[in-house]
Structure 1
Amino acid sequence: MSLSASAVAPAPAAPTAPERPLVLVAGAGRLPELVAASLERSGRPFRVLAIRGFAEGPMRARAKASVDLLDVAGVLKILDAWGPASVVPAGGVSRPSPAAILNAAAALRNREVLRAMANGGDDRLLRGALSLLEERGHSVVGVHDVAPDLLSPEGQLGRHAPDEAAALSIATGRALLGALSPYDVGQAAVVAALRAVAVEGPEGTDRMLARARALGRRPFGLGRAQPGTVLVKLAKEGQDLRVDLPAIGPRTVTNAAAAGCAGLAIQAGLTLIIDRAATVAAADRAGLFVVGLRIDG
């Protein structure tokens, strides 16, 4: 005797495993809030792990746990318990000395990673810290991987566009930063035509712009910066973008204007714009252009 198809009960659908949450490691500044908002828009589940002394109030309030910056064992214990899909570092921290990290991580007995952390530049130091997490099986991804809507698009962002003089400065800046990239210097330069006015070092973009303001003018702060002066900011070759993604914001625009810049040229797809609407509005008010550069390879 055979059963008709209608008499056979359909097999129950296999339950769908819930998506494992990301862990957003929140440091200082607004970036963790912006990343959290982006994740909420995309529907990605996440938990917040706040860094004490760095995370801002809104992120501390929604954090599931808080840790000290150098509490490596504590971080690993929390991550092992949570089992996240990936870990996303976001926000600023004061980079500790290699000796401090060596002391905090001594129990892990990873001599090769610790040696790399102690004997390299900032990028190598931070990559070493991430390696400690990855060796315990935790995937570490960058903001650009989980919140691409926070990155600069290609092309003109505001009302103003670069003129011929600025276009020459942009080309010079791209060539300059490309040549310096292997040497682990900064991500930015202020360029006027074929002349490099200032190159970013460990002090960061804002202080570099302050130097450019002084260097680009006559004594006593008189005179004008050279026409076509531009802030160019690009990711470095081999840079670990998970911890050191190029970024600009309204303050960058204000400081660039004070330095006599005609505009900002940034790498499309790899430069964070903190509060894009406010950044573009500040540039429009100051008469500066902001352009996202497509850089292949």
Structure 2
Amino acid sequence: MPEADAARPAAARAPGTGAVAVVAGAGRLPLLIAEALDRAGRPCRILAIRGFADAATRRRAEAAVDLLDIRGTLARLAAWAPAGVTLAGAVARPSPAALLNTLAAYRNRDALRALASGGDDRLLRGVLDLLEEHGHRILGVHDLAPDLMAPAGLLGAVAPQGVAPASVAAGRALLASLSPHDVGQAAVIAEHRVLAVEGPEGTDRMLARARALARRPLGLGRAPAGMVLVKEAKAGQDLRVDLPAIGPRTVRHAAAAGCAGLAVGAGTTLILDRAETVAAADRLGLFLLGLEARP
């Protein structure tokens, strides 16, 4: 494809009919999506983000870009003309100054300033808007690898007991009330007592904080009965990016914090390494529950 044509917005050319493009950050998710596409017989191409994509992801990737190389990323995607684009894996949030300097060619500086100073939802929405303006169809994990999503119901051998169901209900109500504020996707609840709400630090650090608070004094106390981790997508969240996720490490940290179990949104929460995650919950005596969508 001539360079001038590759630089044009994809919307100005024929719709993409090629492979799915996976823009890959850190973690195993990019390769899990690629493997799911392989099983489905769908071609895929990985564009690795330097400094974030794991070694295994980089080995499979066909190209790599810097996190803030917006022009290079758009040019590469235009050349590939993918059938769809998915953003997978973790990256560190760029500073507002970096965003302003990098995206100035594509946005009014006032709009950029608002984007950079907003929460993660606003930032991700801005990234999606930019890709869609260039004619790309954005796909989510639930579109490409639905088997990675949590199913509804009890996933392991341990069932919620005592006040745990009340803790789950209270956690869901709390997260629903926080949805408009772009806070976190998880909370630790003991019946009606809120021990911790996830912030920018992520679930693992939130669980460490909950452990310290639940085991006062001096970290030697006993965790309260029915203490649970509830993790669920925010109401109205764009499911194509930033889905809640758990894995074996989450289960181990929840057990260390004193949780009796985990409850996650069915169909909207990723379970990485599901068999290992369920086995870890069973081994540690924690329930693992997929929550039906709210009516």
Normalising by structure 2, we get a TM-score of 0.91
Match of 1:128 in 2: 126
Instruction: Determine the C-alpha separation between the residues in 2 that align with 1:219 and 1:69.
Output: 44
Match of 1:239 in 2: 237
Instruction: Determine the C-alpha separation between the residues in 1 that align with 2:232 and 2:276.
Output: 21
Query: What whole-Å deviation, never above 9, does each CA across 1:268-288 have from its counterpart, x for those lacking one?
Result: 000000110111111111000
Identity fraction in percent: 68
The answer to whether the 8 Å contact 2:100/2:109 transfers is no
Matches within 5 A, 1:12-161: 20-111=18-109, 114-161=112-159
The total of aligned residue pairs comes to 281
The answer to whether the 8 Å contact 1:116/1:125 transfers is no
Query: What whole-Å deviation, never above 9, does each CA across 1:247-289 have from its counterpart, x for those lacking one?
Result: 0011100110011000000000000001101111111110001
Instruction: Determine the C-alpha separation between the residues in 2 that align with 1:289 and 1:112.
Output: 48
Match of 1:261 in 2: 259
2:178 is the alignment partner of 1:216: no
Deviation at 1:242, TM superposition (A): 2.2
Deviation at 1:120, TM superposition (A): 1.3
Per the alignment, in what secondary structure is the counterpart of residue 264 of structure 1?
strand
Deviation at 1:200, TM superposition (A): 0.8
Aligned partner of 1:78: which letter? R
> Residues 167 and 231 (structure 1 numbering): CA distance in 2 closer, same or farther, change over 3 Å?
same
Instruction: Determine the C-alpha separation between the residues in 1 that align with 2:286 and 2:35.
Output: 28
Greater mean deviation of Cα atoms: 235-244 or 62-71: 235-244
Aligned partner of 1:238: which letter? G
Greater mean deviation of Cα atoms: 214-223 or 167-176: 214-223
Match of 2:187 in 1: 189
The answer to whether the 8 Å contact 2:19/2:82 transfers is yes
The answer to whether the 8 Å contact 1:117/1:126 transfers is no
Instruction: Determine the C-alpha separation between the residues in 1 that align with 2:154 and 2:122.
Output: 34
Per the alignment, in what secondary structure is the counterpart of residue 288 of structure 2?
strand
Match of 1:15 in 2: none
Instruction: Determine the C-alpha separation between the residues in 2 that align with 1:64 and 1:205.
Output: 32
Instruction: Determine the C-alpha separation between the residues in 1 that align with 2:57 and 2:280.
Output: 26
Deviation at 1:109, TM superposition (A): 4.1
Greater mean deviation of Cα atoms: 248-257 or 236-245: 236-245
Match of 2:7 in 1: none
Structure 2 residue ranges without an equivalent (≥5): 1-15
The answer to whether the 8 Å contact 2:156/2:278 transfers is yes
Structure 1 residue ranges without an equivalent (≥5): 1-17
Match of 1:3 in 2: none
Instruction: Determine the C-alpha separation between the residues in 2 that align with 1:154 and 1:187.
Output: 18
Instruction: Determine the C-alpha separation between the residues in 2 that align with 1:263 and 1:165.
Output: 12
Aligned partner of 2:241: which letter? V
> Residues 162 and 244 (structure 1 numbering): CA distance in 2 closer, same or farther, change over 3 Å?
same
Query: What whole-Å deviation, never above 9, does each CA across 1:192-217 have from its counterpart, x for those lacking one?
Result: 11111111111111111001000001
Deviation at 1:114, TM superposition (A): 2.3
Normalising by structure 1, we get a TM-score of 0.91
Once superposed, which parts of structure 1, at least 4 consecutive aligned residues long, lie more than 6 Å away? none
The answer to whether the 8 Å contact 1:230/1:264 transfers is yes
Match of 1:7 in 2: none
